């Protein structure tokens, strides 16, 4: 069975195949109404249960749109109004849902909940974000880079800000596709050292800096994310430490001239990124958001063995 928990669990050829599937499905439905089903309707008759323990706009809508376009259906649930919110175990929830749906996506506070769900489920489980990682997001980001004409192999992707779950998934993907990650994060907000060590041991090139200018030098892409992720509590400390890591026009000017800007969104304009960068000529943030649908379709078909590329 194919779960999609983290990009570092996948073979490089599977990551490549998922990206190819996403590009192909996007190209095949240019200009169509968003709810029209793809010609091959590969997930006809299939149902996804998407469970959210935390807020979501893009992930929630893109999973639903993705399943409709694949010919299937989605049940969107949240922990608060299901029995999970009253203490039913993840293990029992996994076993029950596996009798009712064909695939499950979970956005969880704790990555351990996702691992447990996958352990007890008898259908594929997809990571819709945890405190540890956000692999669906990174597939959309990599698609967006390729659409901008940036070849992933040998590319330099700079990160300035909090060393969070989104950065973890970039590091997971780096070794699979041959791009380098250059991350500038303040002391105390560096990326997870176990992720960096494991990534490097698997061949990923990961550079860590204190200074954002060093990270963006020679970069093909500059990425950042909120300074306060869902579940973070030390807001004052974060705002103070991360202030110098803001992505603004001065920082973008230090990257390669053709560099693009990405942000998974939601953004806190004026904090981790300025309006001028968000709305500027190098920004690809709304292509990136749209690509969540196309990337998720590729993940769903891959998990269910219905992809045309893998
Ligand atoms: N980027 C992302 O995952 O957005 P949502 O939190 O809105 O799903
Ligand atoms: N790092 C952010 C990403 C939101 C899509 C969070 O976990 O809240």
pLDDT digit string (tens) for 12-71? Answer: 999 999 999 999 999 999 999 999 999 999 999 999 999 999 999 999 999 999 999 999
Question: In the structure, what pLDDT confidence band is assigned to residue 310 with cuts at 50, 70 and 90?
Answer: low
Catalytic positions, written as ranges: 107, 134, 137, 225, 264, 292
The answer to whether residues 269 and 172 belong to one domain is yes
The answer to whether residues 145 and 112 belong to one domain is no
CA separation for the pair 227, 246 (Å, rounded): 10
Would residue 267 count as lying in a domain? yes
Distance 19 CA to ligand 1 centre (A): 19
The answer to whether residues 162 and 129 belong to one domain is no
pLDDT digits (tens, 9 = 90+) for 67-107: 999 999 999 999 889 999 999 999 999 999 999 999 999 99
Residue range 277-287: average pLDDT? Answer: 98
**How many C-beta neighbours within 10 Å does residue 305 have?**
11
Would residue 2 count as lying in a domain? no
pLDDT at position 287 is 98
CA separation for the pair 105, 120 (Å, rounded): 14
Would residue 101 count as lying in a domain? yes
Say how many Å lie between the first and final Cα of the chain, rounded.
14
The answer to whether residues 172 and 120 belong to one domain is no
The answer to whether residues 144 and 284 belong to one domain is yes
The answer to whether residues 277 and 148 belong to one domain is yes
Residue range 288-308: average pLDDT? Answer: 97
Number of separate domains in the chain: 2
Would residue 88 count as lying in a domain? yes
The answer to whether residues 274 and 198 belong to one domain is yes
**Which residue puts its alpha carbon closest to atom 3 of ligand 1?**
59
> By three-state DSSP, how is residue 200 classified?
helix
Domain boundaries, position 104: 7-134+292-304
Would residue 309 count as lying in a domain? no
CATH assignment of the domain containing 70: 3.40.50.1370
pLDDT digits (tens, 9 = 90+) for 232-272: 999 999 999 999 999 999 999 999 999 999 999 999 999 99
- Which atom of ligand 2 sits closest to the CA of residue 230? 8
pLDDT at position 308 is 86
Point out the least confidently predicted range of 18-22, 113-117, 188-192, 306-310.
306-310
CA separation for the pair 126, 148 (Å, rounded): 27
The answer to whether residues 130 and 266 belong to one domain is no
The answer to whether residues 109 and 162 belong to one domain is no
Which tokens is 113 given?
A: 């909940």
Which tokens is 253 given?
A: 């000017």
Would residue 1 count as lying in a domain? no
pLDDT digits (tens, 9 = 90+) for 133-189: 999 999 999 999 999 999 999 999 999 999 999 999 999 999 999 999 999 999 999
The answer to whether residues 274 and 193 belong to one domain is yes
Would residue 72 count as lying in a domain? yes
The answer to whether residues 155 and 212 belong to one domain is yes
pLDDT at position 309 is 78
Would residue 109 count as lying in a domain? yes
- Kindly list the protein residues whose Cβ atom lies closer than 6 A to any atom of ligand 2: 129, 164-166, 225-226, 229-230, 264
- Kindly list the protein residues whose Cβ atom lies closer than 6 A to any atom of ligand 1: 56-60, 129, 137, 264-265
| pTM given for the model | 0.98
The answer to whether residues 141 and 284 belong to one domain is yes
């Amino acid at each position: 069975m194919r779960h999609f928990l983290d990009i570092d669990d996948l073979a490089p050829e599977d990551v490549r195949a998922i990206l190819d599937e996403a590009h192909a499905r996007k190209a095949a439905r240019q200009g169509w109404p968003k709810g029209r089903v793809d010609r091959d309707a590969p997930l006809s008759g299939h149902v996804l249960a998407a469970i959210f323990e935390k807020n979501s706009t893009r992930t929630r809508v893109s999973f639903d749109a993705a399943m409709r376009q694949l010919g299937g259906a989605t049940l969107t649930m949240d922990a608060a109004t299901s029995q999970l919110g009253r203490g039913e175990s993840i293990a029992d929830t996994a076993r029950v849902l596996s009798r009712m749906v064909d695939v499950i996506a979970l956005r969880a506070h704790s990555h351990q909940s996702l691992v447990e769900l996958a352990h007890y489920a008898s259908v594929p489980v997809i990571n819709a974000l945890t405190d540890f990682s956000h692999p669906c997001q990174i597939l959309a980001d990599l698609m967006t880079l390729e659409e901008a004409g940036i070849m992933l192999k040998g590319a330099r992707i700079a990160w300035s800000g909090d060393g969070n779950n989104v950065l973890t998934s970039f590091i997971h993907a780096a070794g699979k596709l041959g791009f380098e990650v250059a991350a500038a994060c303040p002391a105390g907000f560096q990326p997870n050292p176990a992720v960096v060590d494991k990534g490097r041991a698997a061949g990923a090139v990961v550079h860590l800096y204190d200074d954002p200018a060093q990270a963006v030098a020679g970069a093909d892409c500059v990425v950042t994310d909120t300074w306060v992720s869902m579940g973070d509590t030390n807001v004052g400390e974060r705002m103070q430490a991360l202030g110098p890591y803001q992505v603004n026009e001065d920082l973008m000017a230090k990257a390669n001239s053709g560099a693009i800007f990405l942000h998974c969104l939601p953004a806190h304009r004026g904090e981790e990124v300025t309006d001028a960068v968000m709305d500027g000529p190098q920004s690809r943030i709304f292509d990136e958001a749209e690509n969540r649908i196309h990337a998720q379709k590729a993940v769903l078909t891959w998990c269910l063995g219905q992809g045309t590329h893998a």
